[in-house]
């Protein structure tokens, strides 16, 4: 470069006034001014349609608004929260939200590590494998859920057919005597199905995040380990995993937050049933608030998600920053 760093020395970034000492520094040359102008529209938009609605949600949950009369903001204190807690569905929704999120987290962690180990290698056909493996993330959630609904159909599920073909399902077998398993019609099978669908659709994202860290580990580290005679599992547990630990936690937290706050899979597969057996908080908020018309109660239910989301976000943030610092 011919003329180096005229603008407030490289590493520190150019927040200081430009050090070009010419008398007429045009407005368009002041980084702070230009920066603010460029940033402002996005910030204003996010404040107007994320921050304001968020506080509106809190206000709604303390009011008695309904779909029929959304602007009647009569302050009712914590009535919505207390009345919601005493409903039978609440216990189910809270329990299932926690169980589904926790189970997804465990499975996702194991599978992410395995898949990252696979994709860290070079092999013929890697490009094709990447396309196949990223498919669950690319498919719109609602459409994927419809696909799973048919895959887990009570009568025509091909999984049931496979189980019958190998003699595990049907009259007089281990899983029999019925000819089908009714994945979405039983309490724990339903929850299991939702967990599997969640793992399926978030595995590509967590893999990509962790893979970014994995490919940053220099190859020499592994060559040295091999020279030292360390086996595969020793290398995995003593080099790869410690190096990826924090990144892995961040990636898993991010994906799990997405699952905890989303209703699509449950809404389109089990619909919370049978009864409230697979109900989760986000879907119940939708049923109450929109379908049932009790906006304020729906907002109150959704807010039960917030403490968990906040705790997980703070945790992720702190870990990420500790690494940066």
Partner 1 sequence: MNVRTMQISRTVGFYVALVLFCLFAVFPALWMVITAFKQNSDLYDPMNNPFLFNLPPTLTHIESLFTQTNYPIFLWNSFIIGVIVVAITLVLAVPAAYSLARLMGHWGEHSSIAIFLVYLIPPTLLFIPLYEIVTVLGAANTVWSLILVYPTITVPFCTWLLLSFFRSVPREVEEAALTDGWSRVGVFFRVALPLALPGITTCIVFAFALSLSDYIYAAVFVSRTASRTVSAGVPTELIRGDIYYWQALMAATAIVGIPLAVVYGLLFNWLVKGFQVELPRSPRA
- Judged by CB under 8 A, the chain residues 202 through 241 that form the site for partner 1 are 203-204, 208-209, 211-213, 215-218, 221, 232, 239
Q: How far is the CB of 85 from partner 1 (least distance, A)?
A: 18
Binding partner 1 by CB under 8 A: which of 81, 99, 137, 230? Answer: 137
List the x/- string, 146-175, binding to partner 1 by CB under 8 A: xxx-xx---xx-x--x--------------
Instruction: Tell me the three-class secondary structure of 143-174, residue by residue.
Output: HHHHHHHHHCCCCCCHHHHHHHHCCCCCCCCC
The CA dihedral of 195, 196, 199, 200, to the nearest 10 degrees, is: -150
Q: How far is the CB of 124 from partner 1 (least distance, A)?
A: 11
List the x/- string, 286-305, binding to partner 1 by CB under 8 A: x--xx----x--xx--xx-x
- Distance, CA of 84 to CA of 91 (rounded, Å): 10
Identify the three-state secondary structure at position 204: helix
DSSP assignment letter at 180: -
Binding to partner 1 by residue 62, rule CB under 8 A? Answer: no
Binding to partner 1 by residue 39, rule CB under 8 A? Answer: yes
Instruction: Cis check for the bond before 274: say yes or no (omega within 30 of 0).
Output: yes
Binding to partner 1 by residue 21, rule CB under 8 A? Answer: no
Q: What are phi and psi of 210, to 5 degrees?
A: -70, -35
Q: Which stretch binds partner 1 (CB under 8 A): 78-86, 88-96, 100-108, 143-151?
A: 143-151
Binding to partner 1 by residue 43, rule CB under 8 A? Answer: yes
Binding partner 1 by CB under 8 A: which of 106, 135, 178, 315? Answer: 135
Q: How far is the CB of 148 from partner 1 (least distance, A)?
A: 6
List of residues 6+ apart from 153 with CB closer than 8 A: none
Binding to partner 1 by residue 24, rule CB under 8 A? Answer: no
Instruction: Cis check for the bond before 112: say yes or no (omega within 30 of 0).
Output: no
């Amino acid at each position: 470069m011919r003329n180096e760093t005229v603008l407030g020395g490289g590493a520190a970034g150019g927040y200081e006034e430009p050090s070009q000492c010419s008398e007429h520094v045009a407005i368009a040359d002041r980084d702070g001014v230009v920066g603010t102008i460029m940033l402002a529209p996005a910030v204003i938009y996010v404040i107007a349609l994320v921050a304001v609605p968020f506080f509106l949600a809190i206000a709604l949950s303390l009011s008695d608004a309904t779909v029929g009369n959304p602007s009647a903001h009569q302050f009712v204190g914590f009535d919505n929260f207390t009345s919601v807690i005493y409903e039978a569905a609440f216990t189910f929704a809270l329990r299932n939200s926690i169980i589904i999120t926790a189970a997804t987290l465990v499975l996702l962690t194991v599978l992410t590590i395995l898949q990252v180990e696979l994709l860290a290698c070079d092999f013929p056909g890697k490009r094709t494998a990447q396309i196949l493996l990223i498919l669950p993330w690319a498919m719109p959630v609602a459409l994927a859920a419809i696909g799973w609904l048919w895959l887990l159909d009570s009568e025509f599920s091909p999984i049931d057919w496979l189980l019958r073909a190998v003699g595990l399902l049907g009259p007089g077998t281990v899983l029999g005597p019925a000819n089908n398993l009714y994945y979405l019609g039983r309490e724990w099978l339903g929850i299991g199905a939702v967990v599997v669908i969640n793992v399926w659709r978030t595995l590509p994202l967590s893999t990509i995040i962790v893979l970014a860290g994995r490919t940053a580990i220099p190859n020499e580290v592994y060559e040295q380990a091999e020279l030292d005679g360390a086996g595969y599992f020793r290398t995995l547990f003593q080099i790869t995993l410690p190096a990826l630990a924090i990144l892995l936690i961040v990636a898993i937290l991010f994906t799990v937050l997405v699952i905890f706050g989303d209703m699509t899979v449950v809404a389109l597969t089990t619909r919370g049933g049978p009864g409230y057996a697979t109900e989760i908080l986000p879907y119940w908020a939708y049923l109450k608030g929109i379908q049932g018309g009790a906006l304020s109660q729906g907002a109150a239910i959704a807010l039960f998600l917030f403490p968990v989301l906040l705790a997980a976000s703070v945790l992720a943030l702190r870990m990420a920053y500790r690494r940066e610092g």
